[in-house]
Structure 1
Amino acid sequence: MNKNSTHTALLWIVAAGFFMQALDTTIVNTALPSMAHSLGVKPLAMQSAIVAYTLTMAMLTPASGWLADRFGTRRVYFSAILIFVLGSLCCASAHTLGQLVIARVLQGVGGSMLLPIGRLAVLRTVRGEQYVSALAMISIAGQVGPIVGPTLGGWFVEAATWHWIFLINVPIGLVGMVAVHRYLPRETESSAPPFDLAGCALLSLCMLAFSLAVDVPFESHRVGWSSGLFLLGFVAMLAYVPYARRRRDPLFKLSLFGEPNFSVGLIGNLVCRIGSSAVPFLVPLLMQLELGYTPLQSGLMMLPAALAGTVAKRWIAPLIRRYGYDMFLLFNTLVVGGSIVGFALITRDTPLVVEAVILAIFGAANSMQFAAMNSVTLKGLSHEDAGGGNSLFSMVQMLAMGLGVSIGGALVKVFSEQSSATAMGFRMAFVCVGVITLGSALIFRQIKEAAVVAPQGTV
């Protein structure tokens, strides 16, 4: 097989891995009520299955690059697909929510390595101008996953059972493992620098404590536990600072925060993504539990958001060049937050076209928001800090996804109990997470525009 054929095969392998990871973050949402009924729990209790997956990926993502350097890209990528497939089989075999959560953790272990190691494999194999085209192809797979995920999940529930939303990963993964074994070049083990296990443990403890604290703060008899978890997370975060200052090669260098827009972008991303991540979890539940939609119908209703987001990506670069990052993010954040609040107005009497328009506005604005936030956060980093900054940024993204689901679900429970009406619980939850997103506009006002180079192509 010639070099071009090997490169093509590699891109398809990485794209398939990225597709599986992206698909699995969205395909579950429309199946949650059916899964909850099968497992004998309330639909909102299913949020733990989503949080377990995203939090596991957040904690293990920093280790992926070191594993690839230590044991070889080919071997680790093969193992990542294998673990992901085994996790998917365990998810499909779960008979209780606890079993499903454990299986999702296993799935998250594999998922945490699929994208970063796949991207690393492409970087080490494809050179020059072909690298940009290669990343473009891989990104398409990431865009297709969220588009087809909700609809595919709804269709599986109605045509077969919810178990197939996990079993679909098995044939894709098996083909991927065969392709990795055949096409990825063999590598010898290298003497990678020691991994900062203690630093990773501190940051993982911080994320885990904060995530668990959000799940329990609204029940009076558990407020003490929640406060203690928040304190533990805060202490772990503070402890990392002197630790990283003393260590020669910490997991994340403190110099990263010397770039002002990185700090602003990181905090803004965390706050903004809480609302954006709550929407894919709450909207399908609202449609099925309150509006009478079937799983397939609720999945199809998510298409306007996904398609509008794909189309809107081409608008980002010219808008930022014209208005700058600060003005663009200020206005666009208001649109994202406002559209999330708009979901609170949807009732059984709302015309279908109005629902579709709100979803499309959210999808378009949210897509541009993510791209602009990613760009402004990472653009100013030096070459030596780019790898660590990107890894920390990925951790924060995954953490925000889990927090969004946890906060959104908790708010629905609280307001539903207070008003004795689930519909009111959903409305107030959308208002609250929308306001949280709107609050991130104040953070983005701190962006130093002079430190950011306007994008010349896509962001």
Structure 2
Amino acid sequence: MTNQAVAPPTKLDGAVFKIAGVVVLGAIMSILDITVVSVAIPTFQDVFNATYAEVAWTMTGYTLALATVIPLSGWAADRFGTKRLYMLALLLFTLGSVLCATADTIEQLVAFRVLQGLGGGMLMPIGMTIMTRAAGPERIGRLMAVLGVPMLLGPIAGPILGGWLIEAASWHWVFLINLPIGIIGLVYAQFALPKDDPQPSESFDFVGMLMLSPGLALFLYGVSSLPETSTITANKVWIPMLVGALLVIGFVFYSFKPKHPLLDLRLFKNRNLAIASISLFVFIIAFMGAGLLFPSYFLQVRGESTLHAGLLMAPQGLGAMLTMPIAGALADKIPVGRTVPFAMALIAAGFFTFTQVGVDTSYWLLCGSLFVMGLGMGGTMMPIMTSALRTLGSHDVARGSTLVNILQQIGGSIGSAIMSVILTSQLNESTPVPGMTNPETGKPVTEAGLAIASQHGALPVAVPPSIIERGLAFVADSFATTFTVAFLLVLATFIPIAFLPRKRVPAGEAGSGDAGHVETPVMVH
């Protein structure tokens, strides 16, 4: 058979779009959930009478569940079939959402969020497995562009929707909103997804699972406890981090022995995959960590409501929506080493504004900077992953995407912890107010603490305006310092990006196996 006879289509057809609808629904659910819950944290503090550190576990528990289940996704898809597994993930996520709405205590909410995470962790990799089997390697760039645009609606709509639901209804609807979407997704999946044809070809690596999944969970638990303790010497930080790191290191040495390890680290011999992974890892630590603080600046320094803070973040998503389709099409034609550096330059330019933020920085300047950053985001992450995955064969792509998914979870958790610790340590240096102590902790009340409380009318007593002004200026400087650290990490990303391929590599050339059947590319989650 000639190459011309088997040449794959270069445009996405109706069959691919039909299946894409299912994957998009699941992805929007999981991404919406992350962004909606992030703006609900202050509400959870009031409703459950909990500290910020306790409420933060509603996010951390979800992340730990993701890290635990992601390594199993590739094997489970082969063993049980993608349609069956995707519908199970959708059901778990929807059930977890409904249970979250019934929570009476913060402990129950965290437990139900873990259940959500078990479903959410499988939604993305399994959904992308289904999609790339339908599209093929030559259309990965276009596929990423098509799926990326609606998925970006999650980060745009999440804070807006969350703020509106909390103000207009109650916090319960932050989770109940997933129920109708989940039901529609399950019915749609039943009729739209192709019938399963599971072909288990590998034995399950139980030894690897017993080292990797608990190791990742323990390490991320320790990292996520940093903002609460503000020191790495706390027992709940260094002990789980150490045990987790030892388990992961043990897995690294072990993984080269079995023929089919749970996570195939041999894939890092592929130059494109290794460079793409390093680039994304450094970038996610910087950008995802600081990204969580953008709404906090609007809430704590500028006194905006959750709804308005969400609206102010919208330009970033809008910018990404403009460039992502273009970048996806270009990724199938032009080496990313020639395009990604320009996109990263846009991100750095927009980010720089936030290193200079103050109490009254122009909203036009801030929103314009977020828009520029969004333009850069749309041309960065998806093209990098497209470049890496196009050089892998079918079996290697499934394994490579799992590697990158785990690195993204670790990078996001480390970035969030680092930025939270820096901001907290900065705020703790604020000047104490003479004669005022916190009745719950017994610690002195600071000017920064009073300033943040004043932005939402939560001052316990009358305070001179001069103290509030000094406190707000200090809080703004603390955010600027934290953003400066993130900005430097963004600049560091230019180092690995400089080594991205500048010559076009045909699909599947650098990988092993059949390049005509690609499985699991990664979407940033």
TM-score bin (small chain): 0.7 to 0.9
Is the contact made by 1:55 and 1:402 (CA closer than 8 Å) also made in structure 2?
Answer: no
- 1:237-274 per-residue CA deviation (whole Å, 9 max, x = no partner) reads 33223312210111233331111232222122111111
In the alignment, which residue of structure 2 is the partner of 1:402? 413
131-140 vs 153-162, which deviates more?
131-140
Q: Is 1:276 the counterpart of 2:329 in the alignment?
A: no
| 1:212 paired to 2:221 | yes
Indicate conservation of the 8 Å contact 1:279/1:340, yes or no.
no
Instruction: Name whichever of 39-48 and 317-326 sits farther off.
Output: 317-326
Structure 2 letter corresponding to 1:290: V
Q: Is the 8 A contact 1:291 1:347 kept in 2?
A: no
Q: Does 1:440 align with 2:493?
A: yes
Higher mean C-alpha deviation, range 79-88 or range 272-281: 272-281
**How does the TM-score come out when normalised to structure 2?**
0.76
Mapped to 2, the partners of 1:368 and 1:135 lie a distance apart of 11
Q: How many residues align?
A: 452
Among candidates 295, 300, 304, match of residue 289 of structure 1: 300
Unaligned runs of 5+ residues in structure 1 are: none
**How has the CA–CA distance of structure 1 residues 356 and 298 changed in structure 2, closer, same or farther, with 3 Å as cutoff?**
same
Q: Which AA in structure 1 matches 2:113? A: R
Q: 1:264 maps to which residue? A: 275
Which piece of structure 1 moves more, 296-305 or 68-77?
68-77
**Can you list the C-alpha shifts for 1:425-455, whole angstroms capped at 9, x where unaligned?**
323222222222222222333445458579x
| 1:365 alignment partner AA | G
Partner of 2:120: 111
Task: Give the conservation status (yes or no) of the 8 Å contact 2:64–2:221.
Answer: no
Distance 1:412 1:46, change over 3 A: farther
Aligned match of 2:459: none
Once residues 451 and 158 of structure 1 are traced to their aligned partners in structure 2, the CA distance between those partners, rounded to angstroms, is: 51
Task: Report the equivalent of 2:156.
Answer: 147
Q: Quick one: which of 69, 75, 81 aligns to 2:90?
A: 81
Q: How far off is 1:304 after superposition?
A: 0.4
C-alpha contact (below 8 Å) 1:47/1:409 kept by paired residues: no
Which structure has the bigger radius of gyration?
A: 2
Amino acid at match of 1:142: M
SS at match of 1:292: coil
1:216 deviation in Å? 4.1
In 2, the alpha carbon distance for the partners of 1:187 and 1:321 equals 29
Unaligned runs of 5+ in 2: 1-12, 431-445, 449-474, 508-522
Q: Name the Cα RMSD after superposition.
A: 3.4
SS at match of 1:210: helix
- State the 1:341 CA deviation: 4.5
Amino acid paired to 1:300: L
> The residue matched to 1:235 in structure 2 has which SS?
helix
Q: Answer yes or no: is 1:427 the counterpart of 2:498.
A: no
Partner of 1:29, secondary structure, is helix
Instruction: State the distance in 2 between where 1:326 and 1:131 align.
Output: 17
Tell me, in whole angstroms, the C-alpha distance in 1 between the residues paired with 2:205 and 2:347.
37
- Structure 1 residues 51, 327: closer, same or farther in 2, change over 3 A? farther
Question: How far is 1:167 from its partner?
Answer: 0.7
Corresponding residue of 1:198: 207
Match of 1:293, SS state, is coil
- Given the alignment of the two structures, is residue 175 of structure 1 paired with residue 196 of structure 2, yes or no? no
CA distance in structure 2 between the aligned counterparts of 1:340 and 1:191, rounded to whole angstroms: 46
What residue identity is the alignment partner of 2:274? S
- The residue type paired with residue 481 of structure 2 is M
Determine if contact 1:47/1:405 at 8 Å carries over to the other structure.
Answer: no
Higher helix share: 1
Given the superposition, is the C-alpha separation of residues 32 and 76 from structure 1 closer, same or farther in structure 2, using an over 3 Å criterion? same
Shift of 1:24: 1.7
**Greater shift after overlay, 432-441 or 384-393?**
432-441
Please give the secondary structure, in 2, of the residue aligned with 1:25: helix
- Aligned residues: percent identity? 29
- The letter of the residue matching 1:238 is I
Instruction: Identify the match of residue 310 of structure 1 among 321, 327, 330.
Output: 321
Question: CA offset at residue 109 of structure 1?
Answer: 0.7
2:69 maps to which residue? Answer: 60
**Equivalent position amino acid for 2:299 in 1:** Q
Q: Which amino acid aligns with 1:444?
A: I
Deviates more, 1:302-311 or 1:405-414: 405-414
For 2:231 and 2:297, how far apart are their aligned partners in 1? 26
Letter of the 2:479 counterpart: F
Alignment of 1:304-343 (within 5 A): 304-314=315-325, 316=327, 325-326=336-337, 328-330=339-341, 332-337=343-348, 339-343=350-354
Q: Distance in 2 between matches of 1:340 and 1:13?
A: 34
Counterpart of 1:265, as a letter, is A
Q: Secondary structure at the match of 1:249?
A: coil
Question: What corresponds to 1:299 in structure 2?
Answer: 310
Q: Does 1:159 align with 2:168?
A: yes
Work out the CA distance in 2 between the residues paired with 1:105 and 1:43.
Answer: 18
Q: Please tell me whether the aligned partners of residues 29 and 284 of structure 1 are also in contact (alpha carbons under 8 angstroms).
A: no
Quote the Cα distance in structure 2 between the aligned partners of 1:137 and 1:304.
20
Displacement of 1:277: 0.9
Q: TM-score under structure 1 normalisation?
A: 0.86
2: CA distance between counterparts of 1:84 and 1:392?
23
Larger displacement relative to structure 2 (443-452 or 87-96): 443-452
Matched residues in 1 for 2:41 and 2:80: separation? 38
Does the residue aligned with 2:29 lie in a helix, a strand or coil? Answer: helix
- The residue type paired with residue 294 of structure 2 is V
